[in-house]
Structure 1
């Protein structure tokens, strides 16, 4: 599966599944969106009260459990963590805010382009620029330090939490919130959504599928392995969008999207830059968390909190465009990422130790 053929097949399956999830009820161009679905889960649990985006998305649960089952069966499940956990938590918040300014994670960016949403092209430009900035600091020795082996029980916690969330979804207690209209009310049947997540989780774990990693590796090493999956998702979701009549080329009247080019670009710049520093896109963080990586689990929890912050403080965009608070938050996030990148780069660490003269 580590051959390029494997990741191309994975990308094709992900693209096809994403389109069919729309057919079964998910919002258009949102068969899969890691940021949006984590945001919906946060809303369902009451961490924000945006009534149109509240649902315990089984796709996320399936991704984590699929990764866990595959890693466990192949003896690749390893509990580890301790690599700058609080910094990763903050980066998770930042990545989520950037994604919700754009209205989608890197995976949804690809699906939006495949559905004809030309606004997402500006997101792609920002995404590449953000990855480029991340690479600049990787070349300057950026490092969140090593992780450490942990007791296996520690790695089981995140998959168990997701199993508990699925039980909550099935029994639907009164304290959960479920959207009655808007994107949160547009859902595929629970069984179909869970199976879709499981399939994608299994395949993504085997092939290391990552939106950020594809562009990063192409720039750094001229390695086309990961980006092949990226391209396959785009191509096959494009083909099936046309086949099912979902393709709508243009800037206006796009589902759950806005047409402010600058803030689409800057939102994904923040998302791309933060994801490089984390070591993978939101999808990849979920997969790694399923494998027992508690650092990635902490990053995902940062995204969860970031979703609550974005909606409770009016940072998230809407189809009408970005909010003034959201625009300010993007600038704050860019400054925060820059400071994190600087203070965790090799040259900064040497200066702090007095190994490099200042001035």
Structure 2
């Protein structure tokens, strides 16, 4: 399960970096949010036209490059793929839909809780419920199949795509779309954001930090290793906000959040359900893609497409609440994810697979 000191160190540094990035310009309670930042990247590429959330987030580019360089240095880089990539694309899409209805990824749940946003407590309950639903299907033999070895060049495609985006951001920023107001216009200095992302990517690669995976392991194995990283992030952010006056407990008037409890719960339930079937949360998918896993790279592309879909079709929530299209999309997403979970059970297996073998196949 890895080194406990490393997972605690990773959580502490991510918490400190999140607080620092907010102080230097990132949106409040959003120092690092994989879902929100991928949404901004999607907008910056022109995939959606929501003018308030368009920015080529250096944190995302840094996470990928940091994880890639660390994987190469430690021998963890392996070109793999072929484990139901199209289904993973769809699950990446449904995961993003759920997160944009909640307004945040599992990592932002910890950041919002640490700032006193009690709506995130409802989201955390939904995340746990979704992961539990996924683990029940894992116990019944759910599998998208084993990823196989691929030509080494395949593993470099995703990191190279990100490297090209970084070079263009540094040399030809006019190629991208940037928000002039709203969350997309709020950001820390580019090189600080990039450096923070590199550190987060490197640490996450070594520690295997995954918040959805932490909930899964806690439920399946009564193992609290991964979830301890989540707890440390929360504690560090909580203490930081208490010391700086950023802790404002309550439901109403929280930054970039809404108070519709049902959809906060169901949105994160969809995200957790999808993440459990995928074998990892958005941060983990980015790291796996950086390690050469083309299936995770396809999942990330699914999240980017899901972000574009959410904003082009009026699905994403806002501080005003969840639109009707968003509510319908979450219900469809839950039904679709449940259908995938049911249909991809191993029918030839007599009874349930062992929990450990099921999780091993999933990842």
The normalised TM-score by structure 1 is 0.96
The farther-off stretch of 208-217 and 241-250 is 241-250
* Residue 153 (1) aligns with residue 153 (2): yes
Q: Distance between the aligned counterparts of 1:74 and 1:161, measured in 2?
A: 22
Q: How does 1:1-359 map to 2 (within 5 A)?
A: 2-347=2-347
Instruction: Tell me if the contact between 2:317 and 2:326 (Cα under 8 Å) persists in the aligned partners.
Output: yes
Instruction: Tell me if the contact between 1:140 and 1:347 (Cα under 8 Å) persists in the aligned partners.
Output: no
Q: How many residues align?
A: 351
Cα offset for 1:252? 1.0
Q: 1:348 to 1:21 in 2, by over 3 A?
A: farther
Q: Distance between the aligned counterparts of 1:173 and 1:186, measured in 2?
A: 16
Q: 1:334 to 1:348 in 2, by over 3 A?
A: farther
Secondary structure at the aligned position of 1:346 is classed as coil
Secondary structure at the aligned position of 1:26 is classed as coil
Q: Distance between the aligned counterparts of 1:90 and 1:266, measured in 2?
A: 18
Cα offset for 1:172? 3.7
The normalised TM-score by structure 2 is 0.95
RMSD: 1.4
Cα offset for 1:347? 3.4
Q: Per-residue displacement from partner, 1:246-277 (whole Å, max 9, x unpaired)?
A: 21111111110000000000000000000000
Q: Distance between the aligned counterparts of 1:62 and 1:19, measured in 2?
A: 17
Cα offset for 1:282? 0.3
Instruction: Tell me if the contact between 1:130 and 1:268 (Cα under 8 Å) persists in the aligned partners.
Output: yes
Q: Distance between the aligned counterparts of 2:267 and 2:124, measured in 1?
A: 10
Instruction: Tell me if the contact between 1:342 and 1:348 (Cα under 8 Å) persists in the aligned partners.
Output: no
Secondary structure at the aligned position of 1:73 is classed as helix
Cα offset for 1:349? 8.1
Q: Distance between the aligned counterparts of 2:23 and 2:110, measured in 1?
A: 18
Secondary structure at the aligned position of 1:299 is classed as helix
Unaligned runs of 5+ in 1: 352-359
Q: Distance between the aligned counterparts of 2:348 and 2:332, measured in 1?
A: 21
Unaligned runs of 5+ in 2: 352-363
Instruction: Tell me if the contact between 1:28 and 1:246 (Cα under 8 Å) persists in the aligned partners.
Output: no
Instruction: Tell me if the contact between 2:141 and 2:349 (Cα under 8 Å) persists in the aligned partners.
Output: no
Deviating 4+ runs (over 4 angstroms): 348-351
Q: Per-residue displacement from partner, 1:200-224 (whole Å, max 9, x unpaired)?
A: 1000000000000111001101111
